[in-house]
Amino acid sequence: MSDRDPTWTDIDAAQLTGTNAWRRPEGQLSFLPEIFLDVADNAGFVGGQPVDVSRLAFVTVTLTEGNLYHFWGRIAQNAPGTPTLSIYDSQGYRLQSVDGDDISPGSDTPWSDSLLYFEPDRTGTYYLGIGYSTRPFASGFSIEGWEDTGGNFANDRAPYSAIASLSAPVRIVTEGDAGSTRYTATVTRTGDLSKTQSVGWFVDGRGDHAADDADFAGGLAPGGTITFGAGQATAQITIDIAGDTIGEYDETFGIRLFAPSTGLRIGTGRIEATIEDDDSRLWLEAASLTATEGTGTGGSFTFTIRANAPQEAYHSVRWVVETTDVARPVNARDFSPSVLPSGVVTFAPGETAKTVTITFAGDATPESDERFRIRLESRSDALTTSDATSIIVQILDDDRPLVSIAALAATVVEGSGEGGTVSFEVTRTNPVTAQTIDWAASGLSAADFADGVIPSGRLSFAAGEASKTVTLRLRGDSIAEGAETLTVTISSPSAGTEFRNTQASVSILDDDSVVRVLPGSRSTTEDSGTPITFVLERSGDVLPAATLTWQAEAYADTSSSASADASDFVGGAWPGGVVTFGEGQRQATVTIAVQPDATPEPGEWFSIRLTNPSLGMSIEPYGDLLGAAIWTDETWLSDNAISAAPHREGDGLPTTLNVPIWRQGDYSAAETFTWRVTTAIPGYTGALATGSHFAGGVLPSGQVTFAPGMQTAAIALSIASDDRPGVSSAAFAVEFTAQRPGAGADRIIRVIEEDDVLVSIQSATVQQAEGDSGVTPFTFTLTRTGGTTGSSVVDWSVGTTTGRTVDADDFGDWRLPSGQVVFAPGETTATLTVNVYGDLTPEASERFVVNLTSASPDVAFGNASARGIILADDTEVTVSAYNAVKTEGHTGSTRPFLFTVERAGVTDVAQSVAWSVAPGRGADRANAADFVGGVLPSGVVDFAPGEVRKIITVNVNGDASRERDEFFFIDLSNPTNGLRIGNYDAYGLIIADETVMSIAATSADAAEGSTPHTFTVTRSGYLDAAQIVNWSVVNWGPNRVSAADFEGGAIPRGALRFEAGEETKTITINIASDTAVEKDETFAVRLLSASPGVTLAPYWAGATIRNDDASVGITALSASKAEGNAGTTPFTFALTRTGVLDAEQSVSWATGSLNPNRATAADFAGGVLPSGTVTFGAGEARKVITLDVLGDTTQEAAEGFIVRLSAPTNGLTISGSSATGLIQNDDLAVARLAADWVL
């Protein structure tokens, strides 16, 4: 290659050409045939010792375009300094080439440098510059050059026995993003393979976007040597392309063979391949996929075309808008101007995004929302497109009356007592008529509303009224609960109402708090004087202040424990009071003073009852009554003294349940108690534990020992774990046996809580019709079993099925619905609703499934999916052309045009639709006269139940009128019994089968007898049949032809036959040649008649026969005069040439005597009859000849002579062959008299 080095500037070139070294080259490198080395065809050498002390020396060299060159510059070994060899064009610009080190690292010695594979792009003078790193020059220099004329760097004069050629089946390799991609080329040896031979190879960048070292694995363009063993015919070159993630041009590299060994010649020594960039990607983005069409100037839609990486140079991509929805397509009239938009955006270097805005043609016509696709269509080489190369946009009609609903607030607090209010606004666009809209609430239970029923109602809009408000009052409560969602759905009691949306939702926020008693010791010894305390804690909304009443009372269950009485408390009365929580206060403490005594007695229990919480606060379930104990000073093992939360069984390994026990009273001595687990729990009606609930598989038992002074101990029970969902929780009791009289027997009850949950789903409404508008709710019930004391979260999504399935449009969204169901503690069932949007599209019934997809830990799925069936309830009729593009035929014929009317959707009922023919649009439209009967046809198509297709036949009249192709439409109207018109029209095309024949002169201005006159007859219009046209030559113009002007002596005429599909024919008229000089003549070829249905226009074409003859004639100018008495008298004649005077021509002339008194040779000068030849030059028309007549004094009669023409040349003819002259006598006669007298 010989591209200029991009780092070498104009300034560099100007400075270089101004140096002495440039102006005074050290020599000229010349090439002579190479006879010693087998590396090139020619070689040269030049050396020098520069006198300039600069660091550069130059030699000139003449290079030839198309040849390849190697150069090698050297200085003396061990000389200080390092040489650098460069090549420059005649203007001082440094050029690029391959350095020897790029092919074989280290091949250049410290005292040499090389340039390889230089390809000049023009023939001319170049400068080789050898530069030094030291100054001044340390030694002389030499430059060797090799010139190869065959492109193989082999001496074509050297003998060879084998040829090595390079090939690759694939010339494109994708770079990849990481690692490397291998590219393979093959070197094939042909000829004598008996020897071991080798050839070198290397890779270099090629073209405008050349690969460089970084594009190859290892960061270096590869190269090497291939060695063929004896008998080996092929070898592989493998090149590893480095992957990257940089957007860039496709890049080109070349593979070259060089330096073949003795006897090996390089055949195809170079190939090129392209590294295809796979990192530049384009995609489309838009902030919204909907836009309003607008009125007047119309709305607009803006989208962005993005590239994932900045580009190196300018790149472009074309985008187009196209229709995409059969039922709701856009057309050109929806845009401004009235064409489907398209365009090209160009990314400048470094740009990654371009924004495009499409303008709609606004209107005031109510219509369906329409959809269109924006698609990236084509791009420049450096850019490819990703999957996101198209988006579908919906144009929202803002002209038709649309009803929508919106919540006036996204969240509402439920309140306490009377409760809060929730408002929704129902809005109409274009509210020109009165209208009623139904509404219904859902999502909450009847108890959540002030009236105790789920509200619904009807709104009556007056004409012109645009909005109404629905206000719902909630019932406040004091129950702490999760947030709830209230949804209001609107619908229409009559058909024809269109909705923008049909639902709006509000989140109902809980504002209640729950109070509970914190775990802790609620006991004391009777003589200690220590009061009993317990702590109350609020959760939930703790911002408002609140109060709570508490009261101590007798213990109700005295079957196993004694009850305290009023005397056990200070003051001798049952204590009680009010607990007050300040704003934001979470905890409060209650203190109960106990009356000490010294009476030996067992421990006594009493109850504390919590009542009257403030509005908005509730008491934790089962937490309104709690027990407390006054222990005796004697030793006593507690009986039901401990209450605890259920123990979760867990999954996997066994878990440990610690059952705490303690002694009350005097616990100074050591004691041992025997215990066992029993399921005998009087009065308990729930599920009981079995041995399988414990790690050993049996109900455990054992002993617990209290050391002196030890008050508390624990029994550790190993609980078996499982992951079986759906199993109920189970209870057991730890029963103690008294070890001494008076100790009694105690029992502590515990519950093993099932922590595995099983959730199943089933359809509550398996199948329903979708409806024409609004939404149809499909409900599904989720059932939870097993561990239901806590909350559970289950995710769900709608999925498709095999066969006829749903898509996102069926749910009014761009994606299939999904959501989440939350089970509150204790809740076992929940309901989810999937809303299906009604439409008017005819389609088959569709299926979908609701799948449970994921859930909280410990939740397993039983029946994890339930199906729904959307029953089709629409029927649509469309019309389409079946065989409706035909020729009309000729007069008297009739052609049937066929159209298909089809039903789709629900076709099990009888329905009908009317049809009629309407003229086409524009100038080329049919009219009533084009149809049989002279009226526009119409009719009714009746469909029987189950019938889906009918054929309409429209009969078209044939004619012989010359006209354009004509359009007409079949329009559908008046559908019955729920039938809806989809595609309401289809067009037919009446193809004019009249043919027009015209004639034009092709070559009709020529000389007679030489060039045939030709005319072309062209047929247009209907060409499907064979046709004939008659023609004849006729006179035309002032100089008319005759039959003699044509070959054969007759006026030419004939007939042309056009076969089907044939468009042109040629008429050839042969002109007769003659030698008559005449005027140019004109004639015409006229088309006379043709097959039926053929119009002739234009029907004639003129032609000219150019005269190609020349003639010569002679006339006397001054040829009748007296001869004179002496000397000569000139007689003159004119020779005149007429006709075509383009050529040189000649004619001879001679003088003869003319009776009766004939002139003789003696009458002319020289004594001979004059003669000669006249030659006319090209374009010359007239010549004059002169005859000199001798004068005399002899009285004689007048004498005549004639000048005749003969022997014309070069096509010249003689028209006037002679002219005469008359020599008149001018001498007096002398009379002889007889003498009468003599002197």
22: part of which helix (H) or strand (E)? helix 20-23
pLDDT, position 1237: 32
Question: What CATH number does the domain containing 52 carry?
Answer: 2.60.120.380
What is the C-alpha R_g of the chain? Answer: 59
Instruction: Please answer whether residues 497 and 433 qualify as being in contact, where contact means their C-beta atoms are separated by less than 8 angstroms.
Output: no
Same domain, 1037 and 1090: yes
Q: How far apart are CA 809 and CA 836, in angstroms?
A: 9
Over range 850-856, report the average pLDDT. Answer: 87
Indicate the pLDDT class of residue 632, thresholds 50, 70 and 90.
Answer: low
Last residue of a domain, one of 848, 871, 894: 871
Same domain, 250 and 143: no
Total domain count for the chain?
A: 10
Q: Does 485 map to a domain?
A: yes
Structure confidence at residue 184 (pLDDT): 93
Q: What is the pLDDT of residues 507-531, one digit of tens each?
A: 887 666 778 777 766 677 666 667 8
Do 555 and 592 lie in one domain? The reply is yes
pLDDT at position 51 over 60: no
520, burial (CB in 10 Å: exposed 0-12, middle 13-18, buried 19+): exposed
CATH number at residue 1199: 2.60.40.2030
d(CA 878, CA 880): 7
Query: Pick from 128, 150, 112, 101: which is nearest to 257 by CA?
Result: 150
Mean pLDDT within 695-706: 86
pLDDT tens digits, one per residue of 138-179:
567 788 888 887 666 666 666 778 888 999 887 888 878 788
| Shared-domain flag, residues 1030 and 984 | no
* C-alpha–C-alpha distance, residues 184 and 294, integer Å: 60
Whether residue 700 is found in the same domain as residue 726: yes
Nearest to 343 by CA among 379, 382, 372, 317: 317
Q: Is 665 helix (H, G, I), strand (E, B) or coil?
A: coil
Task: Evaluate whether residue 206 is within a structural domain.
Answer: yes
pLDDT, residue 11, reads: 80
In this prediction, residue 1185 carries a pLDDT of: 93
Tell me the mean pLDDT in the region 411-418: 72
Among 221, 243, 276, the domain-final residue is 276
Q: pLDDT-derived band of residue 643, with 50, 70 and 90 as boundaries?
A: very low
**pLDDT one-digit tens code per residue, 72-98:** 887 765 566 677 888 999 898 888 877
Through-space distance between the first and last CA atoms of the chain, rounded to whole angstroms: 131
Q: Domain end: 1106, 1139, 1162, which one?
A: 1106
Instruction: Compute the average pLDDT of residues 41-55.
Output: 67
Mean pLDDT of 327-343: 82
Beta strands in 119-233 (DSSP E): 124-132, 141-148, 162-167, 172-174, 180-191, 197-206, 223-228
Per the structure, the complete domain to which residue 655 belongs is given by 647-746
Backbone angles phi, psi at 1167, to 5 degrees: 75, 20
Q: Is residue 214 part of a domain?
A: yes
pLDDT at 313: 57
Give the bridge partners for 1034, in sequence order. 1084
* pLDDT for the residue numbered 726: 53
Half-sphere exposure (Cβ direction) of 473: Cα atoms closer than 13 Å: 8
Yes or no: say if 1067 and 1030 are a contact pair by the CB < 8 Å rule. Answer: no
Ranges 366-370, 849-853, 871-875, 973-977: which has the least confidence = 366-370
Do 407 and 391 lie in one domain? The reply is no
Residues 705 and 775 in one domain: no
Number of H-type helices and E-type strands within the chain: 3, 91
- pLDDT score for 955: 93
Cis check: omega of the bond before 337, within 30 degrees of 0 = yes
Within a domain: 785? yes
Say if residue 753's pLDDT is above 70: no
Contacts 24+ apart (CB under 8 A), 1045-1048: 1045/1008, 1045/1071, 1045/1072, 1045/1081, 1045/1083, 1045/1105, 1046/1070, 1046/1071, 1046/1072, 1047/1071, 1047/1072, 1048/1072
Residues 905 and 1014 in one domain: no
Q: Is 410 exposed, middle or buried (0-12, 13-18, 19+ CB in 10 A)?
A: exposed
Range with lowest mean pLDDT among 983-992, 1047-1056, 1189-1198? 983-992
Residue 1130 has what pLDDT? 95
Q: Are residues 960 and 1003 in the same domain?
A: no
pLDDT digits (tens, 9 = 90+) for 888-943: 777 778 889 999 999 888 888 899 999 999 887 666 788 888 899 889 999 999 99
187 and 120 co-located in one domain: no
Task: Judge whether 344 lies within some domain.
Answer: yes
pLDDT in tens, 300-328: 889 998 877 666 656 778 889 888 765 67
Strand partners, 421: 473
Q: Give CA–CA dist 130/85, Å, rounded.
A: 5
What is the per-residue pLDDT for 560?
60
User: What integer is the mean pLDDT of 568-592?
Assistant: 87
Average pLDDT score over the chain:
81
pLDDT over 50 at 1238, yes or no = no
With contact defined as beta carbons under 8 Å apart, do 392 and 371 qualify? Answer: yes
CA distances in angstroms from 926 to 591, 885, 916, 1022, listed in the order given: 104, 13, 13, 18
Q: 587-592 and 562-563 as β-strands: parallel, antiparallel, unpaired?
A: unpaired
pLDDT at 257 over 90: no
The predicted pLDDT at position 62 comes to 93
The share of the chain scoring above pLDDT 70, in percent, equals 84
Q: What is the mean pLDDT of residues 468-480?
A: 81
Cα(250)–Cα(247) distance, rounded to whole angstroms? Answer: 9
Taking residues 1151-1179, report their average pLDDT. Answer: 90
Same domain for 292 and 269: no
Note whether residue 638 is domain-resident: no
For residue 1123, is pLDDT > 50?
Answer: yes
Q: What is the pLDDT of residue 35?
A: 55
Residues 774 and 851 placed together within one structural domain of the fold: yes
Backbone angles phi, psi at 836, to 5 degrees: -100, 130
Q: What is the mean pLDDT of residues 1005-1015?
A: 79
